[in-house]
Amino acid sequence: MPSDPIISQLSLEEKVSLTSAADWWRTPVIKKNGKILIPHVKTTDGPNGARGESYVSGVKSACFPCSTCVGASFDLETAYRTGKEIALEAISKSANILLAPTVNLIRSPLGGRNHETFSEDPHLLGVMGAAYINGCQSVGVGATPKHFVANDIEKRRRFLTAEIDERTLREVYLLPFQIILKLSDPWCLMTSYNRVNGTYCANDPRLLDDILRKEWGFNGLLMSDWVGTYSTHKAIDAGLDLEMPGPTKLRGDKLVCAVQEGQVSETTIDASATRVLELVRKSGRFEDSEDKDEVYLEDSGRDEFIAQSAAESAVLLKNAYNVLPLRPASNIVVIGQHAMVPTVGGGGSAKVDCARLVAPVTGLQDAGVQFHYERGVPVFAAVPLPEPETLAITGNPASNGSTQKPVKLEWFNGSRVGENTVRVQMLEKTEYMIKERWPMYLDPDYCTRLTFDLTPKTSGKHLVSVLTTGTATLYINDKEAFHRPQEQQLQREAFYFFRSKFERTFNFSMEAGKRYTFRLESWATEPEALARTIGGAVIQGSGVRFFESVDVPTQIKSAAVAASKADVALVFTGTTNEIESEGYDRETMDLTGDQYSLIDAVAASNPNTVVVNYSGSPVSMHQFIDKVAGIVQCWFPGQECGNAVAKVLTGRVNPCGRLPMTWPKDLKDHATYGNWPGDDNDVIRYEEGTFVGYRHYDRTGIPPLFPFGFGLSYSTFKLSGTHIVGQFSGPDGKIQVATSVSNTGEKAGKVVIQFYVEPPVYGIDRPKKELKAFRKPLLASGTSGDVVVELDKYAVSFYDGTNARWKFFPGKYKVLVGFSSTEIVDEAVFKIVEGSTWQGL
């Protein structure tokens, strides 16, 4: 019999119902005698903002810096505060569980979800993840570290198998989760889509039960990734408590039958149902079971934190002859699309529809910087949406300055456009999507009509795209302009994640100032196309996108001329959330479009050219690194983008971010080259073993463009006097490492002190050194301070796969202290007299 008295009151069917979600975000509500016996809990994405339950509802959220930006802070307080602030956002969305943080490794610079995670280094990933979790749960919202385990690639993530030897799996890919469970107590954990060594993680009792629960002592709830449950009895026997999302596909009646037929014991059902119940208790739903309306709340303190944390995470990569900070009264030219329309977050489930967005041009203006702006070159993956000021309601006067939404969307049941109207909406954007749940008013066989007027600002052949998961015909001024047939190979998130892969484009000649009426008629996705998707019918949508013709050579020439007249030229570059996104990986590190040509032309006109780059992952910079005076990496910095970059460029914040991943010169230099993105049999081989990131560069001697942990400052720092305190003895042994750091420059600033451990040579092919601690002190100009860190068994151990235990040898260990993985400036030695082995945490 189950030990919990509430579980004892439930039938088998009710207990089984608790093991799968009721809808896209919520667990079921169990009622007895008309009263709620067990309330639901509600989840929300994601790592850099709590979006709420709908991608399309219009409820806004705060957008925080992406996780690589947080990782670049090398600051546990920043990670803690980020988790706490996003948890408060989750509360405003009536959610109890935040689906974050992501702690998968940045294995390749091309990973589509790199922006969602902190680092290439397991230690940095683990300690930052634990701090984020502790911050999140400090306000009563459960955290969900994900994705367990080795979900490091997006291509065919539901089908591939990651082939990893046991030592690599333990030391690199499982270690961040192990550290998280050592330093925090997450309420939940999410399994990954992929297989590891042939077995789906969601079905693997060794990973979920033997390691996670028995060895590490995890007692929280295990949920699947969305549509990441692959079996009825294997998954729940392995320990997967909750199938997400609902309605269920593999549990419900199927699981009841599995119990009745003896495939699954009722004790197993009781255990998972009890963990769901415990999550409800922790979430406080018994005290407050109301599902409140989602809201957006203004919070100036939160916004300032976003700006300050993004500024302190920016990495100054080059600063020749101190071109930065900008000098007062300088003649500045600001160039590039990203200065006016910045990318503040990556794509996919981490995407946040932010309530406010401070562009760099606005941030610089507010900071008192006088500048001239040049548009530069266009940067996009999918064709952008039409600019709001170009749109108007069909037949109405131009809506410039109007608050009325300009796009009309009509829904019709049946296949005849204009008949059997079931809903009419006015939209801000020229596209729509059915997501999370099927509308009550809509039949599976439906059609729509989307109408709006558009007035281009320029004349020329403009770029138009049509997206639809079904069939669509676009009419411009009542004449057919484009027909889009049914796409046969739909992916589940085709309309949300894959616009750049999914759109079809054409050119259409238009005159500046002339008004054109667009009408898109579209039909439901055909059943045979839906049958080939994962996740069912709730994926559908249609839309029109538009980009005005741009004379790129003229734009580049104009920017170069403006730069030639300026003291400093700031060129803003980067990727977008449709280049770096969940669902697919990048194919190249190169910046898209004509951005390199723009940089070349500007740099040739002005030696004081500074590139300010926005991306969640490394981009190729070898093309211009020797041509420009300065480079600032700003990541995806969140909604206060402009305020953050203004703080850094003007010197109000002394740059103190450091690279949380190695920045290669060329993809061919990287450890994953040749083993990314896998073969035609959905096998991806982790042949680099434990030599990921900077470990690979240490081993091969290949110089990266920028090493792990690298970053410059407007000040200078010196380390000295590193020494060991204490003696290391046994598996519970600990030592302290102390060093003195001095600010030898003219400005106050923070600096990241990094502590790497180099093991003795014992015939084991181990990395030369590994990061095991870091600190980030703040020092005034001309002052010094002491930094002390503690090292334990995690700092000296490797995994002995033969004996299935962690192990460390006796001998001399070096602690290498420095400012990056290649700038080691001091060291100390400690001895371990007797080796040992250990398991668990």
pLDDT of residue 769: 98
Non-local CB neighbours of 288 within 8 Å, separated by 6+ positions? none
Q: In the chain, what percentage of residues exceed pLDDT 70?
A: 97
Q: Where are the alpha helices (DSSP H) in 261-345?
A: 266-282, 300-313, 337-340
Q: Where are the alpha helices (DSSP H) in 457-536?
A: 494-497, 499-502, 527-530
| Among 542, 586, 281, residue whose Cα is nearest residue 434 | 542
Banded pLDDT at 53 (limits 50, 70, 90): confident
Round to whole Å and give the CA distance between 410 and 420. 10
| pLDDT tens, residue by residue, 452-495 | 999 999 999 999 999 998 999 999 999 999 999 998 776 656 56
Give how far Cα 34 sits from Cα of 23, 258, 292, Å: 21, 29, 20
Cα angle 478-483-487, degrees, rounded to a multiple of 5: 150
The average confidence (pLDDT) of the chain is: 94
Average pLDDT over residues 660-680: 93
Considering the candidates 225, 270, 453, 698, report the single residue annotated as catalytic. 225
Banded pLDDT at 437 (limits 50, 70, 90): confident
Tokens standing for residue 523: 């039909």
Round to whole Å and give the CA distance between 389 and 411. 26
**pLDDT reading at 537 higher than 90:** no
| pLDDT tens, residue by residue, 26-49 | 999 999 989 999 999 999 998 999
Round to whole Å and give the CA distance between 810 and 126. 26
H or E segment to which residue 645 belongs: helix 641-650
What pTM was estimated for this model as a whole?
0.95
| Among 43, 139, 152, residue whose Cα is nearest residue 97 | 43
Please name the amino acid found at residue 587: E
Report residue 47 CA to chain centroid gap: 6
Non-local CB neighbours of 470 within 8 Å, separated by 6+ positions? 486, 522, 523, 524, 525, 526, 529, 540, 542
pLDDT of residue 762: 87
Q: Which CATH superfamily is domain 717-838 in?
A: Immunoglobulins (2.60.40.10)
| pLDDT tens, residue by residue, 768-818 | 999 999 999 999 999 999 999 999 999 999 999 999 999 999 999 999 999
Tokens standing for residue 324: 């930065």
Q: Where are the domains of the chain?
A: 7-282, 300-377+552-700, 388-547, 717-838
Average pLDDT over residues 751-760: 98
**pLDDT reading at 406 higher than 60:** yes
Banded pLDDT at 1 (limits 50, 70, 90): very low
| pLDDT tens, residue by residue, 165-220 | 999 999 999 999 999 999 999 999 999 999 999 999 999 999 999 999 999 999 99
Round to whole Å and give the CA distance between 351 and 743. 39
Round to whole Å and give the CA distance between 378 and 626. 24
pLDDT of residue 499: 73
Non-local CB neighbours of 255 within 8 Å, separated by 6+ positions? 16, 19, 232, 233, 236, 264, 269
Instruction: Specify whether the CB–CB gap between 543 and 450 falls below 8 A.
Output: yes
Top-level CATH class of 7-282?
alpha beta
Average pLDDT over residues 246-251: 94
Q: Give the SS3 label for residue 123.
A: helix
Q: Regarding beta strands 541-547 and 195-196, do their DSSP bridges make them parallel or antiparallel, or are they unpaired?
A: unpaired
Q: Where are the alpha helices (DSSP H) in 203-336?
A: 205, 233-238, 253-260, 266-282, 300-313
Domain topology for 388-547 = Jelly Rolls (2.60.120)
Among 130-139, 277-286, 321-330, 400-409, the least confident range: 400-409
Domain topology for 300-377+552-700 = Rossmann fold (3.40.50)
Banded pLDDT at 763 (limits 50, 70, 90): confident
Q: 121 an active-site residue?
A: no
Round to whole Å and give the CA distance between 552 and 22. 51
**pLDDT reading at 657 higher than 90:** yes
| Among 574, 801, 767, residue whose Cα is nearest residue 671 | 767
Residue where the block lists tokens 């309309």 = 495
Among 62-76, 539-553, 594-608, the least confident range: 539-553
Please name the amino acid found at residue 427: L
pLDDT of residue 194: 97
